[in-house]
Amino acid sequence: MNRGGQTRLAQGFTIVETLIVLAVTSSLFVMTATIINGRQQKTEFQVGSRAIQQQIQQVINEVQTGFYPISGTFSCTPTLPNNVQLRNGANAQGTNSGCTFVGKTMVFGGTHTTDYAVYSLAGRRTLSDNITDVKTPKEANVTAIAPSTLNPQSPNATATVKLPNNLEYVKGRQSGQPWVTTTFPVAFLSSFANFTGSGENTSGSQDVQLRGYTIMSLWAAQGSDANAINNEAARPTPYGASPLAGADICFKSGGTNQSVLITITDGLRVSYSIRSGMDCV
């Protein structure tokens, strides 16, 4: 019989002592798990930051080498006032002599906060005399190879890519301009004057420029990315009077208090810088 003493377990510990040990052990386990999880999330963010930098660089490289992975056949004719007309079927790729691939546009933000869209672009090869090569984006009548109000029968060469490792778009800016938290598009366009054809590939190798959109503030009102890209061609100075000096895009982590600043230079080099906080300050 226990006369006034505490009930002990067979090992010699009281119930209270055992509960204290369990509580401390559980707390240590939770702390350790939290630390490990935090480190894992930071590692995943670093991997995601590097991945988005490489993905943007890859799009630039594809434009520079003339890589446009579009399956099937389609026709392209420079018959619309400010755009080329695109239709499924008819001419085989490489036989649309009046048109050429002129670059790609990447769209971030707006409806693309956790992904981004890549649009292949077509344009006129020559002016209306069918002899003189185009020299500017305005002369080229740059058009998205995607269904739109102007080209409802266009093939769809759009790629939508999920941002890696739970990254989320925060904001973007053209060099020297304010940040925008809405849709932020950037274009990698042929310099046109330096275009060189290559065999039957209508793209060939191209000197490429970083270009911005003058319609950016009106993007959402266009109804779709493809419409906005096409309507840029009707602006007084589509894609600006000159190439951009650079562009910055900010993404935040989905699991840590971090963000990554992606910088695209006018020389089309892409770099990244990881920052504390969620807005790349």
The answer to whether residues 104 and 62 touch, using CB atoms and an 8 Å cutoff, is: yes
Q: pLDDT tens string for the chain (281 positions)?
A: 455 555 554 556 687 777 777 777 777 766 766 665 556 878 999 999 999 999 999 999 999 999 987 776 788 998 889 999 999 876 655 556 689 999 999 999 999 999 999 999 999 999 988 889 999 999 999 999 999 999 999 999 999 999 999 999 999 999 999 999 999 999 999 998 654 443 333 444 569 999 999 999 999 999 999 999 999 999 999 999 999 999 999 999 999 999 999 999 999 999 999 999 999 99
Tens digits of residue pLDDT in 105-143: 999 999 999 999 999 999 999 998 888 999 999 999 999
Q: Around Cβ 199, how many Cβ atoms within 10 Å?
A: 7
Indicate the pTM of the whole model. 0.82
Q: What are phi and psi of 209, to 5 degrees?
A: -125, 150
The answer to whether residues 126 and 134 touch, using CB atoms and an 8 Å cutoff, is: yes
CA distance 179 to 126: 36
The dihedral over CA atoms of 62, 65, 70, 73, expressed in degrees to the nearest 10, equals 160
The runs of H, that is alpha helices, within 157-202 are: none
Could you tell me which residues come within 8 angstroms of residue 34 by beta carbon, excluding any fewer than 6 positions away?
A: none
Nearest-CA neighbor of 201 among 47, 118, 96? 96
pLDDT at 262: 99
CA distance 67 to 225: 21
- Terminal-residue alpha carbon distance, the chain: 70
pLDDT at 35: 60
CA distance 281 to 273: 11
CA distance 37 to 135: 54
3-class SS of residue 217: helix
CA distance 44 to 31: 20
Residue 265, token pair as written in the block: 């230079």
The answer to whether residues 131 and 125 touch, using CB atoms and an 8 Å cutoff, is: no
- Cα within 13 Å of Cα(259), Cβ side: 18
